[in-house]
Amino acid sequence: MEEGKQNMNIDVRDTEIIIDSKVLAFPASFSDLQDILGEARIVPKNDRANYYIFDKLGITFCDVDERYLKRRKAFIDKEHLISYVTFFIDDTELMNEAEIPAERFNGNITFFGREWDSLKKSDGSSQYFFCKDGEYRFAHIKAIIRGNDDESNYTDGRFSKTLYLTFAPERPKSTENYNISAPQEECVTFTNLNFKLAVIQELMYNMEILKPYFDIYDYLKFKKSKANTETEKNIKAAVDFFKNLPVPQRLAKELTDITMYGGNEIYGNIAPLWDGEDGRFDLDEISPDELKCFPNLRKIKLMSSKPEKIVALCEEYNVEATT
């Protein structure tokens, strides 16, 4: 589809761009791009992201680290990480050779059907307003335009400067109540925190039956705390919350599978920048009394430095444990 696809019209909206009447919503997946634009040349940016380069179109898309989307509550899944797009139009000095397509973009770009020069703008040339329900609101896509701000961005009615777009959704306000009340029902007694964390991952984040749904950024706002979240260390406030959170026995009966891996949400909420390289969350101990609380548990996918011990114990309780 990329071949001959020139003179396209791009209209930038609140959370999406319209490409010749086809909608590309952010964050996007590579499959979304293929459906609209065809095949791309893929260049690794780092171990967490790729460039998706459409050489004949003069357009490059890029992934964002999933943690960025999770902070803003915009994460869908690991396939939908594309949040940056660059339209290479002029010959201004470019920032990264790896992302440059072979040709220049030869189309036009508007914003909600209007030229950028006529928009109500804020923060220099990085953000714009749009009207919704009679009110002006910030768009969730920021725009950075290369070149001289004093010169028009359009030449003969066509956008004429290289444009960078970034999906920057506003984080929605939390409605969670994070106050922990004394349980009024029978709850599981845990002796190993890492086992409890693995259980909470399933009940809270995967099955969504254990409340409240913990988000470290919302929690710190709720507690009016200024704890540092730009860290690979464990945040004490998060660890304490999970230590104190009751897990009702009635929910324990719903658990059939546990899958542990470094990208689980619970670990990202405890240590937002954790790289998964150390064994701090390894499951090296489970007590028989803990296992008995989960009568329907049948499988555990382990992170463990001592799997033999865990596997042997699980076998006694008809639970298949693997690494």
What is the average per-residue pLDDT within 92-101?
72
What pLDDT is recorded for position 196? 98
115-137 burial code (b ≥16 CB/10 A, e <16): bbeebeeeeebebbbbeeeeeee
pLDDT over threshold 90, residue 191: yes
Of all residues in the chain, the percent with pLDDT exceeding 70 is 94
What count of other Cβ atoms lies within 10 Å of the Cβ of residue 273? 12
Tokens 């470094």 locate to: 262
> What's the mean pLDDT when you consider all of the chain?
89
Say whether pLDDT at 302 is over 80.
yes
Name the CA dihedral angle for 148, 128, 160, 91, rounded to a multiple of 10 degrees: 60
Helix, strand, coil proportions of the chain in percent (round to 5)?
Answer: 25, 25, 50
> 204 pLDDT band (50/70/90 cuts)?
very high
Whether 129 and 122 have beta carbons less than 8 Å apart is answered as yes
Predicted local distance difference test score (pLDDT) of residue 178: 95
pLDDT at 172: 82
SS3 241: helix
Alpha-carbon span 286 to 316, nearest angstrom: 12
* Torsion 286-290-291-292 (CA) sign: positive
pLDDT tens-place string over residues 114-162: 888 887 666 555 667 777 777 777 889 988 888 777 888 899 999 999 9
Question: What pLDDT was estimated at residue 66?
Answer: 83
- Is 195 in a helix, a strand, or coil? helix
3 has pLDDT over 60: no
Report, as an integer, the average pLDDT of 61-86.
90
Domain boundaries of the chain, sorted by first residue? 9-167, 193-322
SS3 per-residue string spanning 4-20: CCCCCEEEECCCEEEEC
Token reading at 103: 């040709």
Alpha helices in the chain (DSSP H): 30-37, 66-71, 193-200, 216-222, 236-244, 249-252, 265-270, 288-292, 307-316
Does residue 261 carry a pLDDT above 70? yes
Amino acid 128: pLDDT: 75
